[in-house]
């Protein structure tokens, strides 16, 4: 049996184990281990299990992951997200669909200081949803806007998805962060336009909220200084070359602690809870990463990614047609796997093909994060949608219906990014 066939069987077994509800973080190293045993023998496989955990985790850039998680949980748990929503609400809430637009705007700003979508769901499900219900918004627009706003966290830096993608593909995390900014703004604008279209066609879906004076609007801005400072500190520091993205995680966490202490929001209970959440998320992500490296070793030995690369490069298709097929593939993958598993499992397989076709891995990183993000809110495994449904009592089917217009907007953004890759690549190019 050729090694490529062994690699293919390995991938099929991984899919079976994942659908058998095995922890993904153990399913992939298990198959990787058995695969290495078959190809190279038990000695090499045992050696991989003994060395990979140490070598891959004791790697300086990895430290950004727990530190950015801590920064995000501190911000989410201290009520700063709620303040952002209230400010956005005062600025645009008085317009038709304004409360949903406020959710999207504050979601984008919140994403600029947190790296995971679930924190945004928790914050905006609690804060924005009661307001929208109070003003008679329909459940579809309410849940669709909250769920869509949460997905911005993975696109707008600091994004944990970009850190994991950068580490796995050995691409500059600083450049990936910068590449996410303008597409993040583009997607936010597209979501706002979507809300305007929905409320123009069905005004009863999002009635105007309470009017606020110019003075109230101006005064509400004082509640966003925390986020502005933290964003400028972290992203400005990386862009200006003052510190690396790895160090930015520590600076961001430290900054979040100082800011929340200064604004008298950080209690010992919140700090303790934030640390507990950080440990939980760290354990979850790193079991996946450790498993991925063993699986990658097996896949490299099987030569399957190289065979796939030769096949894709040999196709008489333009690279954009291949990208279109990959986007469809990732939409399907995103329906079943959350973003970290999807990136870790698939990118090592297709990366050689992308590089051979001359596709920029930074641009592709932005595209797949945007595509896999869609899976967060689509059935059958739309984690963000289910979480929102569980928190709010809105049926999950209603949430799924509510996100459809926003998904169409996201697909339009992907097409725009394919036609104008400079939107993603301009800022990294200036570094």
Partner 1 sequence: MKKLLKIANSASWGAALISTGALAVMLVTVVANVVGRRFFHHPIAGTTELTEMAMICIVFLALAWCAVERAHISVGVVVERFSPRVQAIVDSITYLAGLGLCIIIVWQTILKAIDVQERGLVTFVHKVPYFPFYWVIAAGFAILCLVMVGHLIEHLVKAVKE
Footprint on this chain of partner 1 (rule: CB under 8 A): 17-27, 29-30, 33, 46-47, 49-51, 53-54, 57-60, 62-63, 66-67, 70, 242-243, 246-247, 249-251, 253-254, 275-276, 278-284, 286-288, 290, 336-338, 340-341, 380-381
* Closer residue to partner 1, CB minimum distance, 53 or 319: 53
Q: Which is nearer to partner 1, 66 or 305 (CB)?
A: 66
Decide whether 202 or 276 has the Cβ nearer to partner 1: 276
Contacts for 208 with CB less than 8 Å, ≥ 6 apart: 93, 94, 95, 96, 98, 135
Closest to 75 (Cα-Cα) out of 259, 284, 268, 285: 259
- Decide whether 137 or 298 has the Cβ nearer to partner 1: 298
Residue 229 Cβ vs partner 1, minimum distance, rounded to whole Å: 16
Helix/strand/coil (H/E/C) assignment for every residue in the chain: CCHHHHHHHHHHHHHHHHHCCCCHHHHHHHHHHHHHHHHHCHHHHHHHHHHHHHHHHCCHHHHHHHHHHHHHHHHHHCCHHHHHHHHHHHHHCCCCCHHHHHHHHHHHHHHCCCCCHHHHHHHHHHHHHHHHHHCCCCHHHHHHHHHHHHHHHHCCCCCHHHHHHHHHHCCCHHHHHHHHHHHHHHHHHHHHHHHHHHHHHCHHHCCCCCCCCHHHHHHHHHHHHHHHHHHHHHHHHHHCCCCCHHHHHHHHHHHHHHHHHHCCCCCHHHHHHHHHHHHHHHHHHHHHHHHHHHHHHHHHHHCHHHHHHHHHHHCCCCHHHHHHHHHHHHHHHHHHCCHHHHHHHHHHHHHHHHHHCCCCHHHHHHHHHHHHHHHCCCCCCCHHHHHHHHHHCCCHHHHHHHHHHHHHHHHHHHHHHHHCCHHHHHHHHCC
In the complex, the smallest distance separating the C-beta of residue 282 from partner 1, rounded to whole angstroms, is: 5
Nearer to partner 1, 22 or 324 (CB): 22
* Cβ-based nearer residue to partner 1, 224 or 387: 387
Between 92 and 251, whose beta carbon lies closer to partner 1?
Answer: 251
Q: Which is nearer to partner 1, 6 or 337 (CB)?
A: 337
Q: Give min distance, CB of 390 to partner 1, in A.
A: 14
Rounded to the nearest whole angstrom, what is the least distance from the CB of residue 110 to partner 1 in the complex? 22
Taking the complex as a whole, the smallest distance from the CB of residue 61 to partner 1 amounts, in Å, to 10
Cβ of residue 290: shortest distance to partner 1, in angstroms?
Answer: 8
Report the residue number, 189 or 257, with the smaller CB distance to partner 1: 257
Taking the complex as a whole, how short is the minimal distance between the CB of residue 161 and partner 1, in angstroms? 14
Smallest distance, partner 1 to C-beta of residue 332, A:
13
How near is the Cβ of 212 to partner 1 at its closest, in Å?
A: 39
């Amino acid at each position: 049996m050729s090694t490529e066939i062994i690699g293919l069987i390995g991938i099929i077994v991984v899919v079976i184990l994942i659908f058998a509800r095995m922890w993904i973080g153990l399913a992939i190293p298990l198959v990787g281990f058995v695969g290495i045993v078959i190809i190279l023998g038990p000695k090499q496989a045992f050696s991989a299990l003994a060395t990979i955990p140490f070598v891959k985790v004791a790697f300086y850039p990895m430290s950004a992951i727990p530190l950015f998680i801590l920064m995000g949980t501190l911000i989410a748990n201290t009520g700063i997200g709620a303040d952002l929503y209230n400010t956005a609400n005062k600025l645009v809430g008085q317009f038709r669909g304004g409360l949903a637009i406020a959710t999207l705007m504050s979601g984008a700003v919140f994403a600029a200081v947190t790296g995971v979508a679930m924190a945004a769901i928790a914050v905006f499900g609690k804060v924005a949803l009661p307001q929208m219900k109070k003003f008679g918004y329909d459940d579809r627009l309410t849940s669709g806007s909250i769920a869509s706003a949460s997905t911005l966290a993975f696109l707008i830096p600091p994004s944990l998805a970009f850190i994991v993608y950068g580490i796995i593909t050995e691409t500059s995390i600083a450049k990936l962060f910068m590449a996410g900014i303008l597409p993040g703004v583009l997607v936010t604008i597209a979501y706002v336009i979507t809300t305007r279209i929905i409320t123009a066609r069905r005004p009863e879906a999002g009635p105007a909220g309470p009017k606020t004076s110019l003075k109230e609007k101006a005064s509400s801005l004082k509640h966003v200084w925390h986020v502005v400072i933290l964003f400028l500190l972290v992203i400005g520091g990386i862009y200006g070359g003052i510190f690396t993205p790895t160090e930015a995680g520590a600076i961001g966490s430290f900054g979040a602690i100082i800011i929340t202490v200064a604004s008298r929001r950080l209690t010992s209970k919140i700090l303790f809870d934030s640390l507990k959440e950080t440990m939980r998320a760290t354990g979850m992500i790193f079991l996946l990463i450790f498993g991925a490296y063993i699986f990658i070793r097996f896949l490299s030995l099987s030569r399957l990614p190289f065979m796939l690369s030769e096949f894709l490069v040999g196709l008489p298709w333009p690279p954009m047609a291949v990208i279109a097929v990959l986007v469809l593939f990732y939409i399907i993958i995103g329906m079943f796997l959350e973003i970290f598993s999807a990136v870790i499992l698939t990118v090592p397989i297709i990366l050689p093909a992308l590089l051979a076709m001359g596709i920029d891995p930074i641009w592709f990183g932005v595209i797949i994060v945007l595509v896999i993000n869609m899976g967060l809110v689509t059935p059958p495994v739309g984690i963000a949608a289910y979480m929102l449904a569980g928190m709010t009592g809105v049926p999950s089917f209603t949430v799924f219906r509510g996100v459809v217009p926003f998904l169409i907007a996201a697909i339009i953004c992907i097409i725009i990014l394919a036609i104008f890759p400079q939107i993603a690549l301009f800022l990294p190019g200036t570094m």
